[in-house]
A and B are shown apart, each in its own frame.
Chain A
Amino acid sequence: MFLIIVLTRIAVMADGLPVVTVGSALQDAWLGALLATAASAALAALAATLAMRFPGKSLGVFARETLGRWLGLGVSLAVALVYFLLTLFELYQLTTLTKGTILPRTPAWVFTLSVLSVAVYGAYLGADAMGRAAEVLITIVFGAVVVGVCVLVAAPLPQSYSSLSPVLERGVWPVAEAAIIPALWFLVSGGTVLGLGKFTRPTQKLRGAVVGAVLASGMLLTLFAVISTLILGPSEARDQLAPMLSVARAINLPGILERSDLLLIVIWLLGAVFETTIFLLVAAIVSADALGLNVTQVVPILGAAAALVVVLYTPTVFDLRRAAQPTPTGLGGLFALGGVVALMLVVTALRGAGRRGRGGP
C-alpha cells in the first residue's frame, strides 16, 4: 500500500506540481508543500482509520453495511464515479502533456487509447498484481530520481537561494491557498485505501503505511517545489504548465546529455500510467462490490465506457477540465470524496457507540 500510494503521487508531482502553479505562494511554495503534506497526512490517516474499521472489505461493501442498502449503494457509486472521472482526467493529463512535449504530430486518441488499454489490462489483473508491479516500478522511478538529482547537482545551473526568501512576504493565505489542491489530491490517496479493501487486513499496519507514504511523497513534493523555484525563479515557475519539465529541459551535461527531460518523462509516464490503472481499479472494485459483481467483469465495462467517452467526444472530452475548474475533476468531486469519508466515519463512530451502549461487540 505504501508503494502504491507513493507511485500514484509521482505523476502529479512530476508534471503538475500544483503547489507551485496554483495560488500565489511564489517563493513560499515549499511552505505550501509542507502544509499540504501535513494536512493530507491527517486526511489520509482518517481514510485509513475508516478502512481499518472494516478489514478485508472495500467501500462498496461496508458502505452498504453502514448506511443501508440504497444509501450505501448511492455513496459507493458516487465514489466509483469520482474515480472514473479521475481516470478520465489522468488520460487527459497524459494526452495533453505527451502531445504537447514529446510527440506533437501524433493524434491525441493514440495516447488516450494506448494508456487506457494498459490501464484496463492492469486493472483486470487485480490489486495483488498491481501491488507487486508497484514494487518494480518504484525501483525504476527511484533510480531515475537519484540519477536526476545527480545530474542536477553536476549541471551548471543558475541557482539562487535568495529566490526562496523572504518567507511569508505575502502572508499566510497564499501559502494555504497553494496547499489546498495538493492536500485534496492526497485525499484521493486516502480514498484509494478505501477502494483497495483487500489490503486492509488486520495484521497490516495500514495507517502507518498510508501516512508514511503521504509524508514521503510530500517530502518529494517539497523538494520538487524548491528545485523549480530555485532554478526557474518563483514567477516563471508559476507560469509553467509543468515546472519540473522546464527545469529538466534547462539541465545540460555537455557532451553527454543535451537535455535531461527524458528522465523526468520516464518518471512521469510510469507514474501516470500506474495512477490511471489504480484509479480505474478502485472505480471497478467499489462499483463491483456495491453491485455484487465480479471485478474482472466490471473492469472491461468501465474500460469500454472510458474508450467510448474518449472516442465520441474526442474534441470536447477534455472540456471536462473547463467544466470543472479550478481542477479538472472539480473541487466538488474531491470534496464529495472527503465528505463521504467524513460521513462514513461519523456514522461508523455513532453506530459503534450505539452498539457499545447496547452492550454489543
Chain B
Amino acid sequence: MAFIRSRLGRRPEGASQARTAELRGERPLYADLDQNIRVLKQELGNPADLAVKEFLLGGRRNLRGAVLCLDTLADETLVNDILLTPLMIWARQELGGRTARGKLIGAVRHSLATAKKVKDISCLDMLVTHILRGDTVFLADGVQTGLVIETKGWPARAVAEPSTEVTTRGPHLGFNETIKDNLGLVRLRFKTPGLMVERLFIGDRSKTDVRILYHKDLAPPQLVAEVRRRLRAIETDVVLDSGVIQNLISDHRLSLFLTTRSSERPDSVVADLNDGRVAVLVDGTPFVITMPNDIYSFFASPEDNYIGYPVATLLRLMRFQGFFISTFATPFYIAMVGFHQELIPLPLLLNIASTQGGVPFPLAVTAVLAEIVVEVLREAGVRLPKQFGPAVSIVGALVLGQAAIQAGFISPGLVIVVTTATIASFAVPRSEAVISFRLLRFPFLLLGTVLGFYGLALGMVAVTYHVAAMKSFGVPFLSMYAPGRVSELGEKPVLLPEALRRPVRPAAYRDRTHRGPLPAPKDPNQP
C-alpha cells in the first residue's frame, strides 16, 4: 500500500523548488518539456539565433531532454563537448535503464555535464536571463528544474598593448573587452586570498556584468560599502562602457576633475588595489574604474615605480610643470602683453610689438582662435585612421602655422606659446586629465584677457577652493597633500626610495586597523 501511495503521490523532481520560486513571486518551470520550450521561445521572441536541440536521454521511460542556447553568444564547441556529447552519447550508458525522473537532474549534473559551472534553476525568468548571457540551459521532460551551464563564448579582442597609457618600462599588457580575461589579468598579478570579487548586473536592458574588486584587509569597509551602494543605486537602461558608470557614481559630476580614475593597465589597477582602493570591472570595456581618486593620480604613471627614484621624481615634477604650462602659458602671455608690458624686458617687448603690429585681430581673439584650431587639429588627428592621423596633425600644424604667420593672421610669439602649451598638456599621463586641463585653459584665457594677472590670480584661488572642497568617496581630492603629512610627501609629489619613505598606506585610504607599517615581504621561496 505504501509503495502504491508513494508512486501515485510522487511529485516531479524540483517541485519543491518550483513551489519556492512561486512563493517568491517568480514564474516556476513547468513539468512539461514542450511547454517550457514554447514559453522560453515566446519570452525570447523566438529569435533566429536561438538553438533548441531535443534528444532522448534513455533511462527506464526513455526520458526526453533539450538544450537551449543562443548560438551567437554561446561557444558552439563548448556546448558540443561538455553537454551535447555527454548527454546524447554517454547518457544512455551512464543513466542505464534505472534512473528515474526524480534523480535525472542530479545524475546529469554530477556525472554527465563536464562544465566547470553548473547550477540548478527552477525559475523561468532566470533561465531567460542566463540564455541571454550566453549560458546554455538543459531541460528534461517531467522535471521542474533545469540546469544552467556556463558556455559563454563570443568573438573578443585579444589582450594587447594599452593604447592610452603607453610606457617605456613595465608590462605592455592591457585589458580587453571581456570581463573574465580582465579579472584573470588582475588575479595573475595579485595572487592573494584577500582579493574579494563581488558581482552585480547593471542596466535594465543591458544587464551588464560588473565586478567589484578590493582587498579585504586593505580597503576600508566603509569605502567598499559606499561603492556597493552607489553601484546598486544606478538606474539606467544600458551600460555600454565603464564611462557610463563613472559618470553615474562620481561625487562631482559637473566638475572638470574626475573623482574616479580609469585605467586599461592591469599593473596600474593592481597597484591601486594594493593601496586600498576599490576597482570596478565592467564587461565590454577595457577601462577599469578605481576609486577613490586624488589629484596626484593625474601626474603619476605606472612606470614611476619601474625606473630609478631620482628620474621618477624629476619626471613627476616635469608633469606638474606640463600641467602649469598647458593651463597657464597662453593666458599668462595674453595678460603680460595685454596688461603688464612693463614687466617684459625691453628687447623682448620690442620684438613682440614688431611681430604683433601687423596682425589685424586683437591678441586675445587671435589666441582663442589659435587654441580652437589646435584643439580641432588634435581631435581630427584622433579620429582619423591611424595611417593618416599623425601625418595630418603634423602637416596641418606646420603648414597652417607657417601660412598663418606669413599671411599676418597671427604673431610667431603666440604660435610658439600655443603650441608649447598644447605639447605640454601631453606630458600628463592620464588622457582624461589632459582633456580636463585643456578645457581649464579657456576660462583662464578669458580671465587673463579681461583682467590680466589679477584675473588669473583670482581664477587660481577659485579653482583651488573648488578642488579643496572636492571629495572622492569621502576622501579629500587633495589627499596626501592637503590634508597631508610630511612623512607621506615621499609617496606622491616626489618619489623617494623605499628606505627613505615610511612604508604606509595612503593616510586617507587606510583602515583604522592598518595604520602600522606593512609587514615585511615574505621569502618568495617559502610557500
Q: Is the CB of B484 within 8 A of A135?
A: yes
Q: Bound state CA distance, A137 and B462, in angstroms?
A: 11
**Closest Cβ neighbor of B339 among chain A residues:** A103
From DSSP, what is the main secondary structure of chain B's interface residues?
helix
Asked if B345 and A258 sit within 8 Å, CB to CB, the answer is yes
Chain B 428-467: CB-based contact to A (< 8 A → 1; otherwise 0): 0000000000000000000000011111011011101111
> A137: which of B349, B458, B461 is its contact (CB, 8 Å)?
B461
Contact B464 A136 (CB under 8 A): yes
Residues of B within 8 A of A130 (CB): 465, 468
Once bound together, how far apart are the Cα atoms of A122 and B460, in whole Å? 12
Which residue on B lies nearest to A98, using beta carbons? Answer: B454
Q: Which residues of A contact B481 (CB under 8 A)?
A: 135-136
**B345 touching A133, Cβ below 8 Å:** no
Q: How many A-B contacts if CB must be within 8 Å?
A: 102
A262 within 8 A of B: yes
Interface residues of B, count at CB 8 A: 31
Bound state CA distance, A125 and B483, in angstroms?
16
- Interface size range on A against B: 35 or more
Complex alpha-carbon distance, A98 and B456, angstroms: 13
Q: Does A266 contact B (CB under 8 A)?
A: yes
Cβ contact within 8 Å between A257 and B343: yes
Q: 1/0 per position for A230-267, CB-CB distance to B under 8 A?
A: 00000000000000000000000011111101100110
Q: Is B186 an interface residue (CB 8 A)?
A: no
Contacts of A261 in B (CB 8 A): 343
Residues of A within 8 A of B455 (CB): 114
Q: Does B346 contact A (CB under 8 A)?
A: yes
Q: Which of B453, B465, B478, B482 sits near A265, CB closer than 8 Å? A: B453
Q: Which of B343, B461, B478 contacts A274 (CB 8 A)?
A: B461
Any B CB within 8 A of the CB of A102: yes
Q: Is B476 an interface residue, CB under 8 A from the partner?
A: yes
Q: Is B169 an interface residue (CB 8 A)?
A: no
- B residues 307-349 near A (Cβ < 8 Å) are 339-340, 342-347, 349
Asked if B469 is at the interface of the complex by the 8 Å CB criterion, the answer is yes
Of the residues A102, A122, A137, A277, contact of B339 by C-beta under 8 Å: A102
14 A-B pairs within 8 Å (CB atoms) are namely A98-B454, A114-B458, A118-B461, A125-B468, A130-B465, A130-B468, A133-B464, A135-B483, A136-B464, A258-B344, A269-B453, A269-B454, A270-B457, A273-B458
Which A residues contact B (CB, under 8 angstroms)? Answer: 98, 102-103, 106, 110-111, 114-115, 118, 121-122, 125-126, 128-137, 140, 254-259, 261-262, 265-266, 269-270, 273-274, 277
* Contacts A126-B469, A258-B344, A269-B461 supplied; 15 other A-B pairs, CB < 8 Å: A102-B454, A103-B339, A118-B462, A118-B465, A128-B469, A132-B468, A135-B478, A136-B464, A140-B460, A256-B345, A257-B345, A259-B342, A266-B457, A269-B453, A273-B458
- In the A-B complex, the 10 residue pairs with the smallest Cβ-Cβ separation, listed nearest first, are A135-B482, A129-B469, A133-B468, A132-B468, A269-B457, A132-B482, A125-B469, A122-B465, A129-B468, A273-B461
